[in-house]
């Protein structure tokens, strides 16, 4: 999934203003996957949401200190979401692989049974009791059952987790913090400290800067 482009980034402008633009885009991106990803079988949307959560998490690791507590919370929850969706993805990758292995063994056995039948008019059903892979299926079938059940369990957990974050306003609070920052930057541009706008002193002083340590 290609990341959405973030417009108006300026290397000379302050970190918080640029970071606000990036975080806003990344939160939008993450939330945009929710309607689809909340269907149990929407593996692709869930995978895209995992990538979006990862992108949000990493940008918040570097710039989250500019947006206070909402960013710290969102960073942790994005990490949790990434982990949860990652485990679901692992099931999605492994399950078809197990099915393919079962199919491969079946094909191998069918060929072996046919060879044993030699020139007989019909296939003797007892020949399958000598199929070379007959003891391999059960474990693989059980693995497939385990993966299906685990995926269903993880999906329930994901669904519940997402709803809980929506109720707590995890993403909305971050969005607000970021929007406040963008509004502040806009105001500051309108009334630059040494510009011609002759603003009141309180408007010209930049708010005390947060720092990372």
Return d(Cα 142, Cα 211) in angstroms, integer. 53
Residue written as token pair 């909305």: 172
Task: Assess 186 for contact with another protein (CB under 8 A).
Answer: no
Angle between helix 43-63 and helix 68-117 axes, rounded to 10 deg: 140
- The 10 Å Cβ neighbour count of residue 185 is 18
Task: Assess 101 for contact with another protein (CB under 8 A).
Answer: yes
- Angle at the Cα of 12 from the Cα atoms of 6 and 15, rounded to 5 degrees: 60
Q: Residues 133, 161, 173, 191: which binds another protein (CB under 8 A)?
A: 133
Task: Assess 151 for contact with another protein (CB under 8 A).
Answer: no
Q: Residues 12, 126, 200, 202: which binds another protein (CB under 8 A)?
A: 12
Q: Residues 37, 45, 88, 98: which binds another protein (CB under 8 A)?
A: 98
What is the smallest separation between the CB atom of 8 and another protein, expressed in angstroms?
10
The site for another protein (CB under 8 A) is made up of 3, 9-19, 22, 54-55, 58-59, 61-63, 65-66, 90, 93-94, 97-98, 101-102, 105, 133, 135-140, 142-143, 146, 206, 209-213
């Amino acid at each position: 999934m290609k990341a959405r482009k973030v417009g108006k980034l300026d290397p000379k402008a302050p970190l918080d203003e640029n970071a606000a633009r990036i975080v806003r885009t990344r939160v939008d991106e993450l939330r945009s996957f929710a309607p689809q990803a909340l269907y149990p079988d929407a593996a692709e949307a869930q995978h895209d949401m995992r990538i979006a959560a990862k992108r949000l998490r990493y940008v918040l690791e570097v710039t989250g200190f500019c947006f206070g507590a909402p960013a710290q919370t969102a960073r942790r929850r994005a990490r949790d979401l990434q982990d949860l969706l990652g485990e679901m993805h692992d099931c999605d990758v492994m399950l078809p692989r197990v099915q393919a292995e079962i199919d491969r063994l079946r094909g191998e056995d069918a060929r072996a049974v046919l060879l044993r039948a030699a020139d007989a008019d019909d296939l003797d059903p007892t020949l399958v009791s000598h199929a070379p892979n007959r003891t391999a299926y059960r474990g693989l079938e059980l693995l497939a059952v385990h993966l299906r059940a685990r995926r269903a369990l993880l999906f329930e957990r994901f669904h519940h987790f997402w709803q809980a974050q929506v109720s707590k306003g995890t993403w909305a609070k971050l969005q607000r913090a970021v929007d406040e920052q963008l509004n502040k930057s806009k105001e500051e541009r309108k009334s630059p400290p040494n510009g011609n706008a002759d603003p009141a002193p309180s408007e010209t002083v930049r708010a005390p800067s947060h720092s990372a340590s």
